[in-house]
Amino acid sequence: MSAIAENKKALFNYQIEERYEAGIVLLGWEIKAIRSGQVQLTDGYVVIKDGELSLIGLRINPLRSASTHVNPIADRIRKLLMHRAEIRRLIGKVEQKGFTLVPLKLYYKGGRVKVELALAKGKAEHDKRNTIKDREWEREKGRLMRSKISSGPKE
Protein backbone atom coordinates (compact mmCIF):
# COMPACT_ATOMS: atom_id res chain seq x y z
CA MET A 1 0.00 0.00 0.00
CA SER A 2 1.48 3.32 -1.03
CA ALA A 3 0.60 6.16 1.32
CA ILE A 4 -0.75 9.32 -0.26
CA ALA A 5 -1.00 11.47 2.88
CA GLU A 6 -0.50 10.81 6.58
CA ASN A 7 -1.85 12.54 9.67
CA LYS A 8 1.16 12.42 12.00
CA LYS A 9 -0.41 15.02 14.26
CA ALA A 10 -3.20 12.56 15.10
CA LEU A 11 -0.69 9.98 16.34
CA PHE A 12 0.74 12.63 18.69
CA ASN A 13 -2.59 14.04 19.91
CA TYR A 14 -4.55 10.80 20.30
CA GLN A 15 -4.13 7.36 21.86
CA ILE A 16 -5.08 4.93 19.07
CA GLU A 17 -7.37 2.08 20.18
CA GLU A 18 -8.50 0.43 16.92
CA ARG A 19 -7.91 0.95 13.19
CA TYR A 20 -10.43 0.63 10.37
CA GLU A 21 -10.39 0.93 6.60
CA ALA A 22 -13.00 2.90 4.67
CA GLY A 23 -13.60 3.84 1.09
CA ILE A 24 -14.11 7.47 0.13
CA VAL A 25 -16.41 9.07 -2.43
CA LEU A 26 -14.35 11.35 -4.68
CA LEU A 27 -14.92 13.29 -7.89
CA GLY A 28 -12.75 12.99 -10.99
CA TRP A 29 -10.84 16.23 -10.45
CA GLU A 30 -10.09 15.14 -6.87
CA ILE A 31 -8.50 11.88 -8.02
CA LYS A 32 -6.29 13.80 -10.47
CA ALA A 33 -5.26 16.24 -7.75
CA ILE A 34 -4.51 13.39 -5.32
CA ARG A 35 -2.32 11.68 -7.91
CA SER A 36 -0.33 14.88 -8.28
CA GLY A 37 0.08 15.17 -4.48
CA GLN A 38 -2.27 18.10 -3.82
CA VAL A 39 -3.82 16.63 -0.65
CA GLN A 40 -3.59 17.53 3.05
CA LEU A 41 -5.04 15.41 5.86
CA THR A 42 -3.72 17.04 9.05
CA ASP A 43 -6.92 18.87 10.05
CA GLY A 44 -9.30 16.06 9.12
CA TYR A 45 -11.86 14.44 11.40
CA VAL A 46 -14.83 12.09 11.00
CA VAL A 47 -18.43 12.88 11.92
CA ILE A 48 -21.28 10.36 12.20
CA LYS A 49 -24.63 11.75 11.05
CA ASP A 50 -27.78 9.78 10.15
CA GLY A 51 -25.86 6.50 10.26
CA GLU A 52 -23.29 7.68 7.71
CA LEU A 53 -19.64 8.64 8.10
CA SER A 54 -18.43 11.96 6.71
CA LEU A 55 -14.84 13.16 6.45
CA ILE A 56 -14.41 16.85 7.19
CA GLY A 57 -11.19 18.83 6.84
CA LEU A 58 -9.58 16.78 4.08
CA ARG A 59 -8.13 19.42 1.77
CA ILE A 60 -7.65 18.55 -1.89
CA ASN A 61 -6.30 21.54 -3.80
CA PRO A 62 -7.58 21.62 -7.40
CA LEU A 63 -5.09 21.52 -10.25
CA ARG A 64 -4.61 24.68 -12.27
CA SER A 65 -5.48 22.74 -15.39
CA ALA A 66 -8.91 21.71 -14.03
CA SER A 67 -11.72 21.70 -16.52
CA THR A 68 -13.67 24.92 -17.06
CA HIS A 69 -17.07 23.27 -16.45
CA VAL A 70 -16.07 21.95 -13.00
CA ASN A 71 -16.40 24.17 -9.92
CA PRO A 72 -13.85 22.62 -7.51
CA ILE A 73 -14.38 23.02 -3.76
CA ALA A 74 -11.20 22.08 -1.86
CA ASP A 75 -12.77 21.59 1.59
CA ARG A 76 -16.05 19.88 0.79
CA ILE A 77 -17.46 17.17 3.06
CA ARG A 78 -16.71 13.70 1.69
CA LYS A 79 -18.72 10.57 2.40
CA LEU A 80 -16.92 7.49 3.72
CA LEU A 81 -17.96 3.98 2.76
CA MET A 82 -18.07 1.12 5.26
CA HIS A 83 -20.32 -1.86 5.95
CA ARG A 84 -23.41 -0.95 7.94
CA ALA A 85 -22.51 -3.37 10.76
CA GLU A 86 -19.08 -1.71 11.15
CA ILE A 87 -20.70 1.74 11.23
CA ARG A 88 -23.13 0.61 13.94
CA ARG A 89 -20.24 -0.77 16.00
CA LEU A 90 -18.36 2.53 15.59
CA ILE A 91 -21.42 4.56 16.61
CA GLY A 92 -21.65 2.54 19.82
CA LYS A 93 -17.98 3.11 20.63
CA VAL A 94 -17.92 6.80 19.70
CA GLU A 95 -20.85 7.45 22.03
CA GLN A 96 -18.70 6.17 24.90
CA LYS A 97 -16.93 8.92 26.78
CA GLY A 98 -13.77 10.27 25.18
CA PHE A 99 -13.71 8.29 21.91
CA THR A 100 -13.49 9.96 18.51
CA LEU A 101 -12.84 8.93 14.90
CA VAL A 102 -9.68 10.34 13.33
CA PRO A 103 -8.33 9.76 9.79
CA LEU A 104 -4.74 8.50 9.93
CA LYS A 105 -3.76 8.16 6.28
CA LEU A 106 -4.91 8.05 2.68
CA TYR A 107 -3.54 5.29 0.48
CA TYR A 108 -4.11 3.34 -2.72
CA LYS A 109 -5.45 -0.20 -2.54
CA GLY A 110 -6.33 -2.01 -5.72
CA GLY A 111 -6.47 1.20 -7.73
CA ARG A 112 -8.86 2.87 -5.28
CA VAL A 113 -8.24 5.50 -2.64
CA LYS A 114 -8.86 4.27 0.91
CA VAL A 115 -8.82 6.03 4.29
CA GLU A 116 -7.41 4.47 7.44
CA LEU A 117 -9.57 5.56 10.39
CA ALA A 118 -8.70 5.23 14.03
CA LEU A 119 -10.94 4.96 17.04
CA ALA A 120 -8.98 7.15 19.43
CA LYS A 121 -8.99 8.89 22.79
CA GLY A 122 -7.47 12.32 23.28
CA LYS A 123 -4.15 12.40 25.13
CA ALA A 124 -3.71 14.54 28.22
CA GLU A 125 -0.97 17.18 28.23
CA HIS A 126 1.33 15.10 30.46
CA ASP A 127 1.00 12.14 28.08
CA LYS A 128 2.14 14.34 25.21
CA ARG A 129 5.15 15.46 27.25
CA ASN A 130 6.01 11.82 27.96
CA THR A 131 5.80 11.06 24.24
CA ILE A 132 8.22 13.90 23.46
CA LYS A 133 10.57 12.77 26.25
CA ASP A 134 10.57 9.16 24.98
CA ARG A 135 11.18 10.28 21.39
CA GLU A 136 14.14 12.46 22.43
CA TRP A 137 15.61 9.65 24.55
CA GLU A 138 15.42 7.22 21.60
CA ARG A 139 17.17 9.79 19.42
CA GLU A 140 19.89 10.32 22.04
CA LYS A 141 20.38 6.55 22.46
CA GLY A 142 20.89 6.25 18.71
CA ARG A 143 23.50 9.02 18.78
CA LEU A 144 25.35 7.37 21.66
CA MET A 145 25.34 3.98 19.97
CA ARG A 146 26.61 5.47 16.69
CA SER A 147 29.41 7.29 18.46
CA LYS A 148 30.47 4.11 20.32
CA ILE A 149 30.41 2.07 17.12
CA SER A 150 32.34 4.64 15.09
CA SER A 151 35.04 5.11 17.73
CA GLY A 152 35.38 1.34 18.31
CA PRO A 153 37.32 -0.37 21.10
CA LYS A 154 40.82 0.97 21.74
CA GLU A 155 43.27 -1.91 21.89
* Residue-wise pLDDT tens digits, 126-142: 777 888 888 888 888 88
The pLDDT of residue 155: 55
pLDDT at 95: 82
Strands (E), 7-60: 14-24, 39-40, 45-49, 52-56, 59-60
Asked whether residue 50 falls in the same domain as residue 114, the answer is yes
Residues 9, 56: one domain?
yes
Angle (CA) 61-117-46 rounded to 5° is: 65
Confidence band for 66, pLDDT divided at 50, 70 and 90: low
Verify that 42 and 53 share a domain, yes or no: yes
Same domain, 129 and 104: no
Least confident piece of the model among 34-48, 62-76, 77-91: 62-76
Q: Which domain holds residue 133?
A: 124-155
